[in-house]
Amino acid sequence: MPVPSRIFTTAIRNGEIRKLGTCIFHSHNRNLCCSLPPHSLKTLHALLKTASPMTLGSGRSIKDNPLWYIKTQSYRTTSQQYYNLTPPQVNSILKANEYRFKVPEFDGKNVSSILGFDSSQLPANAPIEDRRSVATCLQTRGMLFGVFDGHAGCACAQAVSERLFYYIAVSLLPHETLLEIENAVENGRAILPILQWHKHPNDYFSKEASKLYFNSLRTYWQELIDLNTGEHPDTQEALINAFKRLDNDISLEAQVGDPNSFLNYWVLRVAFSGATACVAHIDGADIQVANTGDGRAVLGVQEEDGSWTAVTLSNDHNAQNEDEIKRIRSQHPKNEEKTVVKQDRLLGLLMPFRAFGDVKFKWSIELQKMVLESGPDQLNENEHTKFIPPNYHTPPYLTAKPEVIHHSLRPQDKFLVLGTDGLWETMHRQEVVRVVGEYLTGVHLQQPISVGGYKVTLGQMQGLLMERRARISSVFEDQNAATHLIRHAVGNNEFGVVDHERLCKMLSLPEELARMYRDDITIIVVQFNSHVIGAQSKPGGGD
Amino acid sequence: MRGCVRNSKALAPTMFPRLLFDRWGSLLGRRGLASAGEPHPTPLPSQARVVICGGGIVGSSVAYHLAKLGWKDVVLLEQGRLGAGTTRLCAGIVSTAKHIPIESKMADYSNTLYLQLEQETGVKTGYVKTGSLCLAQNQDRFISLKRLASRLKVLGIRCDVITPKQVAELHPLVNIHDLVGAVHVPGDAVVSPPDVNHALVVAAAKNGVQIHEHTSVNHVMVQKGHVTGVETDRGTIDCDYFVNCAGQWAYELGLSTEDPVSVPVHACEHFYLLTKPLEQPLQPHTPVVMDLDGRIYVRAWQGGVLSGGFEKNPKPIFTEGRSQLEIQGMQEDWDHFEPMLSALLRRMPSLDSCEIHQLINWPESFTPDMRCIMGETQTVHGYFVLGGMNSSGLSFAGGGGRYLAEWMTYGYPSENVWPLDVKRFGTLQSSRTFLRHRVMEVMPLLYELKVPRWDFQTGRQLRTSPLYDRLDTQGARWMEKHGFERAKYFVPSGKDLLALDQSKTFYKPDWFDIVGAEVKCCKEAVCVVDMSSFTKFELSSSGDQALELLQRLCANDLDVPVGHIVHTGMLNQRGGYENDCSVVRLSKNRFFIISPSDQQVHCWSWIKQHMPSDSQLQLEDVTWKYTALNVIGPRAMDVLSELSYVPLTPDHFPSLFCKEMSVGYANGIRVMSMTHTGEPGFMLYIPIEYALHVYNEVMSVGQKYGIRNSGYYALRSLRIEKFFAFWGQDLDAFTTPLECGREFRVKFDKGTEFIGREALLQQRQVGVRRRFIMFLLEDHNTELDLWPWWGEPIYRNEEPVGVTSSSAYSYTLERHVCLGFVKPPQTDPGAPTVVTADFINRGEYEVEIGGHRYPAKAKLYPFSSLFAQQRRRKDDMELSSFQGK
């Protein structure tokens, strides 16, 4: 298959259509249109000259799908100008959201099994609907990493990215610490810091909602205090509880509303939009991945021969997962068996089978109507919020409950890649692990040359060295493993090598078209300290 | 003086490595040297006069020269085997093409020494007079090579500026298509360093030096600031002198003392390649090639070549300090060597088919300013250092060993070695991080093209004035002196900054107009210059001990009324300047001493050395306590009087006076009616917490007088056009006040036998043999001709009579002014040796810049017209000047 056509179909399959069902909840102020405007189709042709009309036609149902829409405001057709990106321009786009953090090997109390992490983001939606969070737990041990993929707007992903780690951290706190914190709040004293965030300057927290969020969180820990079991919280349980509790709070806040009209509208937007979450809690050699939706966590394992193997630490919650289909069908009456999962979507609409928010799939019809009626006008102006999914008989159809997988790190586990589906749709996990592994170790992996007793001329040696240099230089373009991965995800040709021209085209797509060819991509690469893990995993060395 | 062929010109500033030439053709596995066949055969002596630590070529050379000068009881200790460190693996090139004249002199002496060593000792040294070629790939490099050639010729070292074609005639392999020219030094040589080392040791042993291998120095014992002995792993040796020649371990060894000694050296890995013999073996006498723009050197080695270089991205090692053993484990790194290999194949394409023998990696030690380290340390008497050779150890070992031996014997070597003196550094250059970063800049710089007034880029912003940020935002461009940031000039807003920062030229520089405007403002209105880098001491006593001490140290009379400022030299026994300073009598028994920035360690040590141990007499370094602002120009008086409500006219505040007064809100500012350039103005010594306030006040009040910031380049132009000498540049320990027209600052009859008085009296009787002269360049086009900077040869009636020590463009005279010493040539035995006014006035002078000679007018005295107004006291005419280059 010619390369560009493959991009196209991939983009269609992976990108727009899979989220069509959820798009209906997209925030109000965007222009909707029910079919692709003809001129933009033409532009597609122009962009991908070799893509045949046949291929376009086979991109099922672009025109037929009544729910198809793209944003059309400020649309321009001067596509040539996007072609000529110079390598520095490409780099500045790719690196705009990259962030790198190095963890001190010894912080005075504990040695860290984590060397550091690289994270990066490439938007396709405007604004981007993905979010990411990384934080160190200050009152317990370990670090939290998470990627969040929003749909129908970014509100839910934003809220989850700000709040989820607090819920997890609180769930992990021992009883005494919870009491201490509650006393501090009660008496107006300074609270112990719970999390230390590692944020890129573009990662923001909303100021307006912080009080509301805090109150909900406080109610949660007060309940935890009352529930005191006397046992130290189990991490797996803590993760599940935190996920469920946060989703519950999101739902409740939307039902209760808020006197402040901005906040009132905000909590509704959060509840009516949705987000998947893939979160890893890493403490020493223990790693727990809690996943809700179709984000994924993959471990990079280096075999003894130096090659790389991918070990997946999460299950996708979508139609490709038989167990998920079974789970959903089992939760609803037999007569819904055909409608509950239709065209690989939940109720024929939603691609991920688990998510935060998305109350359209959780609340009863009565509740939805009631909330909408009492809600602000902006909400009602949007036709699609009123839309009730077809065959909606026995809600809830959707849950935020995560699946948690535990893994004990071994010295050969070198890194963990957390990514939103934008990454996994374009690259196979094996390829992802290979690219990151070679990036992280590539330079060192090149065996030093030794002449030994062989006959080598100066000219031969120079040729060899120049070749090695050329190989290294492409790796050196990126200082961030996550950015490097995005470069591959977007620019790889059929040989798994970055093709600059292709990269240029993909990055120079106008805002309006970008979403058709690629999804938002968010990646966190966590690097492990094999020495520390080796020492901890020795018999008797760990727990 | 030989070989000054008309068209013969010169070499480039560079440094060179050396080579190993082993009798058995193997680089490794060489056996230890003679004096200790078995480990530890002879017990250590319990005492000695001198203990030298380090049996490499440097330590051996020191032992050799000490023995030559008649020292008995000299012990040389080596932790491993003799010559087994850096010496064993160095490339064996003896080159005189060095950065500064004293280094070229050292290399020239080393060359002479190694030449006769085989005859003296019977040990084969592998000495071959190959000559060397420094290649230029571009015009700027060619200019720098021509300037080098001029300098070498004045030193009597033969050297020819040649064409690419002549290069091809001298060397069979060199590809000349991209060359613009070269410099040939026929006298340069190659040797086998371990064999030279061996020969030096044999000769030293013959003269009674005891040599012990496998003996490590653990600790140097000190009592009352004097070396008393060393502790080794084989016992203790009592001694009076200790010499640290430990190479890259010198830093750590320096710390193994009660009073740690700072030896700022740091090692980097250095690589060179050995090939197998060529099909047509390369002749041993083939000249050494230094392709500076390609960053490589190449010499013939056993029919093949040896080639190494100074890469852009050096690999510093042993930052944390390691053991000697680790040298064995240093790895070849071909990827790192690739740029140098490519440069080699570009220069000598026919080597393409030549086979590799080995890639050698060994450590070399480097210093913060690219010059070696020599002399007695300021903290411990009797503790001497020689090291930090910046990968020219073989070239410098002979000369360095000789100077150090002379230093230990006579109290000072026979040449001015201040540029190499360990006292130019203080503890501030001892940070390992600083050294690590700086040597990464120094190593590539060895072969880099250096244009006049280049500055180091690493290890900056270490010492700054409190006004630093303020001045920086106003466009200051900075240079560094003794770790202190000083403004060169201020770029007016709207100028193309990037272009300015990148301009590199031997011709008229881009800052010409900027500095011109600052000079104009100093002359016509008022400028502020931050001169906080000056070294400031306070000397006080309960009785008149302070005065007594200063009267003995200073040539001028310090017994002046309180509030007076005295410019004076501190002279040595020979009458030469150890320091040139301004002393303020703050009260009867309290003095404020202002010296040049780089005197911080040297001057302290000089005063301490002559200070009686009297608890009533106290010397304090107050450099860090004061910010110094120079308010300079005819309107300076108006600005200050507005701020202090005190009349500052010459009637109320005569020149060379100091008063504590208030400026703005700040009280206790030391206001001194002097500048260091001869312009009217004031120096303000401000306690640092008031600095910003006073600066702001001066600037805001000064606005109506047209005040602006000014930098050191403007000051430099001002002081040079007024014929002011500067210590460290024009003045040194071999220059007396009589030679530079400063007799009026020597008070022979002040009633105290000051140091140097005897020598000066004698010199006054006999007359001076050299004289400080000001030259005005004629027929020199400032726009189009090469500029003089320093180090240009001066010719009188076609004979070389000296070199310039500093020069600047005078915006007032609208021409270049060069300062330098003139000494009658000694070619003709009947020629006069004493310089008279007549001798000066009757000559026809020329200054040679980059091979071209420009006529110059010599002047013994400054232009009086340049001294604008208010001459209150007699010696106002000759004000001291501290500002740097």
User: For B337-354, how does the pLDDT look when each residue is reduced to its tens digit (9 = 90+)?
Assistant: 999 999 999 999 999 999
- Global pTM reads 0.68
For residue B336, the chain A residues in CB contact (below 8 A) are none
pLDDT per position as a tens digit, B447-468: 999 888 888 988 888 899 999 9
Distance from CA of B305 to the nearest CA of A (A): 11
Mean pLDDT of A66-79: 38
Which range among A29-38, B448-457, B805-814 shows the weakest confidence by mean pLDDT? A29-38
Label residue B325 by pLDDT band (50, 70, 90): low
Label residue A213 by pLDDT band (50, 70, 90): very high
C-alpha B530/C-alpha B683 separation (Å) is 10
C-alpha A252/C-alpha A242 separation (Å) is 15
Distance from CA of B719 to the nearest CA of A (A): 49
Under an 8 A CB cutoff, do B341 and A461 touch?
A: yes
| Residue B557 CB-half CA count within 13 A | 10
Element (H, E) at B684: strand B681-687
As a whole number of angstroms, the longest Cα–Cα distance in chain A is 86
Other CB atoms within a 10 A radius of the CB of residue A238 amount to 23
pLDDT per position as a tens digit, A445-490: 456 677 777 788 999 888 888 877 766 665 667 788 999 899 889 8
Q: For a pLDDT cut of 70, what percent of chain A falls above it?
A: 77
Query: Do residues A488 and A503 lie in contact, with contact meaning Cβ atoms separated by under 8 Å?
Result: no
Under an 8 A CB cutoff, do A457 and B354 touch?
A: yes
Distance from CA of B295 to the nearest CA of A (A): 17
Beta strands B535-541; B617-621: pairing state:
antiparallel
Beta strands B50-53; B241-244: pairing state:
parallel
Q: Alpha helix (H) ranges present in B181-287?
A: 193-206, 250-255
Label residue B428 by pLDDT band (50, 70, 90): confident
Under an 8 A CB cutoff, do A469 and B338 touch?
A: yes
Question: Quick one: which of B530, B656, B678 has its CA closest to B584?
Answer: B656
pLDDT per position as a tens digit, B522-573: 999 999 999 999 999 999 999 999 999 999 999 999 999 999 999 999 999 9
Label residue A77 by pLDDT band (50, 70, 90): very low
C-alpha A418/C-alpha A163 separation (Å) is 19
Question: Quick one: which of B488, B529, B491 has its CA closest to B632?
Answer: B529
- Looking at the predicted structure, is the pLDDT value of residue B303 above 60? yes
For residue B333, the chain A residues in CB contact (below 8 A) are 448
| Residue A537 CB-half CA count within 13 A | 19
Which of A445, A450, A458 to mutate against chain B (most B CBs within 10 Å)? A458
Distance from CA of A487 to the nearest CA of B (A): 26
Which range among A5-14, A166-175, B14-23, B219-228 shows the weakest confidence by mean pLDDT? B14-23
Beta strands A143-151; A274-283: pairing state:
antiparallel
Q: What are phi and psi of B738, to 5 degrees?
A: -70, -30
- DSSP codes of every residue in B656-677: SBEEEEEETTEEEEEEES--SS
- Looking at the predicted structure, is the pLDDT value of residue A188 above 90? no
Predicted local distance difference test score (pLDDT) of residue A81: 47
Query: Do residues B715 and B676 lie in contact, with contact meaning Cβ atoms separated by under 8 Å?
Result: yes
C-alpha A47/C-alpha A37 separation (Å) is 16
Query: Do residues B181 and B148 lie in contact, with contact meaning Cβ atoms separated by under 8 Å?
Result: no
The helix/strand/coil state of B73 is coil
Q: What is the mean pLDDT of chain A?
A: 80
Count Cβ neighbours within 10 Å for each residue of B768-791 and write b for 16 or more, e otherwise.
bebbbbbbbbeebeeeebbbbbbb
For residue A450, the chain B residues in CB contact (below 8 A) are 332
C-alpha B795/C-alpha B832 separation (Å) is 16
Beta strands in B172-240 (DSSP E): 181-185, 189-190, 210-212, 217-223, 226-232, 235-238
Question: Quick one: which of A521, A517, A495, A520 has its CA closest to A506?
Answer: A517
pLDDT per position as a tens digit, B242-285: 999 999 889 999 999 988 999 999 999 999 999 999 999 999 99
- Looking at the predicted structure, is the pLDDT value of residue B328 above 70? no
Distance from CA of A458 to the nearest CA of B (A): 5
Element (H, E) at B101: helix B101-121
- Looking at the predicted structure, is the pLDDT value of residue B876 above 60? no
Structure tokens, B161: 């500026």
Angle at alpha carbon of residue B861, lines to B780 and B152, rounded to 5°: 50
- Helix, strand, coil share of chain B (percent; to 5): 30, 25, 45
For residue B331, the chain A residues in CB contact (below 8 A) are 448
Top pLDDT among B17 and A529 is at: A529
For residue B338, the chain A residues in CB contact (below 8 A) are 462, 465-466, 469
A–B CB contacts, 8 A cutoff, strictly below: 53
Under an 8 A CB cutoff, do B342 and A462 touch?
A: yes
Residues 6+ apart with CB under 8 A from A241: A167, A171
C-alpha B18/C-alpha B447 separation (Å) is 15
C-alpha A75/C-alpha B172 separation (Å) is 68
Beta strands in B666-798 (DSSP E): 666-672, 681-687, 708-709, 771-777, 793-796
Q: What is the mean pLDDT of chain B?
A: 88
Which range among A57-71, A304-318, B463-477, B731-745 shows the weakest confidence by mean pLDDT? A57-71
Q: For a pLDDT cut of 90, what percent of chain B falls above it?
A: 75
Question: Quick one: which of B731, B848, B838 has its CA closest to B799?
Answer: B848
For residue A444, the chain B residues in CB contact (below 8 A) are none
For residue B273, the chain A residues in CB contact (below 8 A) are 458
Under an 8 A CB cutoff, do A456 and B358 touch?
A: no
Label residue B105 by pLDDT band (50, 70, 90): very high
Mean pLDDT of A18-42: 38
C-alpha B697/C-alpha B664 separation (Å) is 6
Task: Nearest by CB to A465, from B273, B332, B334: name it.
Answer: B334
Q: Alpha helix (H) ranges present in A195-321?
A: 210-226, 235-256, 261-272
Under an 8 A CB cutoff, do B338 and A455 touch?
A: no
- Looking at the predicted structure, is the pLDDT value of residue B738 above 50? yes
Distance of CA A30 to the CA centre of its chain: 23
Q: Answer whether the bond into residue B314 is a cis peptide, omega within 30°.
A: no
Label residue A439 by pLDDT band (50, 70, 90): confident
- Looking at the predicted structure, is the pLDDT value of residue A10 above 70? no
- Looking at the predicted structure, is the pLDDT value of residue B15 above 80? no
C-alpha A42/C-alpha A61 separation (Å) is 17
Count Cβ neighbours within 10 Å for each residue of B123-151 and write b for 16 or more, e otherwise.
bebbbbebbbbbbbbeebbbbbbbbbbbb
Top pLDDT among B14 and B800 is at: B800
Which of B335, B345, B360 to mutate against chain A (most A CBs within 10 Å)? B335
| Residue B290 CB-half CA count within 13 A | 32
Top pLDDT among B605 and B28 is at: B605
Which range among A140-154, B33-47, B413-427, B771-785 shows the weakest confidence by mean pLDDT? B33-47
> Which residues are registered as beta bridge partners of B852?
B849
C-alpha B33/C-alpha B204 separation (Å) is 13
User: Sign of dihedral through CA atoms B230, B235, B236, B241?
Assistant: negative
Label residue B637 by pLDDT band (50, 70, 90): very high
> Which residue of A lies nearest to B307 if distances are taken between CA atoms?
A458
Placement of tokens 């190095």 in the chain: A102
> Which residue of A lies nearest to B344 if distances are taken between CA atoms?
A458
Under an 8 A CB cutoff, do A448 and B334 touch?
A: yes
For residue A463, the chain B residues in CB contact (below 8 A) are none
- ipTM more than 0.90? no
> Which residue of A lies nearest to B334 if distances are taken between CA atoms?
A449
How many Å is the Cα radius of gyration of chain B?
28
DSSP B325: G
Element (H, E) at A170: helix A155-172
C-alpha A141/C-alpha A283 separation (Å) is 6
Beta strands B383-387; B241-244: pairing state:
parallel
Label residue B18 by pLDDT band (50, 70, 90): very low
pLDDT per position as a tens digit, A479-534: 889 998 998 898 887 666 677 788 888 888 888 788 888 899 999 999 998 877 87
Predicted local distance difference test score (pLDDT) of residue B567: 95
Query: Do residues B881 and B677 lie in contact, with contact meaning Cβ atoms separated by under 8 Å?
Result: yes
Predicted local distance difference test score (pLDDT) of residue A104: 75
What is the identity of the amino acid at A210?
S
Length of chain A measured in residues: 543
Under an 8 A CB cutoff, do A459 and B341 touch?
A: no
Query: Do residues B315 and B268 lie in contact, with contact meaning Cβ atoms separated by under 8 Å?
Result: yes
For residue A466, the chain B residues in CB contact (below 8 A) are 338, 342
Task: Nearest by CB to A465, from B341, B351, B358: name it.
Answer: B341
Distance from CA of B334 to the nearest CA of A (A): 6
Distance from CA of A455 to the nearest CA of B (A): 6
Element (H, E) at B361: strand B356-366
| Residue A336 CB-half CA count within 13 A | 20
Mean pLDDT of B638-655: 89
Query: Do residues A448 and B333 lie in contact, with contact meaning Cβ atoms separated by under 8 Å?
Result: yes
pLDDT per position as a tens digit, A362-405: 999 999 888 888 877 776 666 666 788 888 999 999 999 999 99
Task: Nearest by CB to A458, from B331, B335, B341: name it.
Answer: B341
For residue A456, the chain B residues in CB contact (below 8 A) are 355-356
Distance from CA of A468 to the nearest CA of B (A): 8
Predicted local distance difference test score (pLDDT) of residue A465: 84
Which of B355, B357, B358 to mutate against chain A (most A CBs within 10 Å)? B355
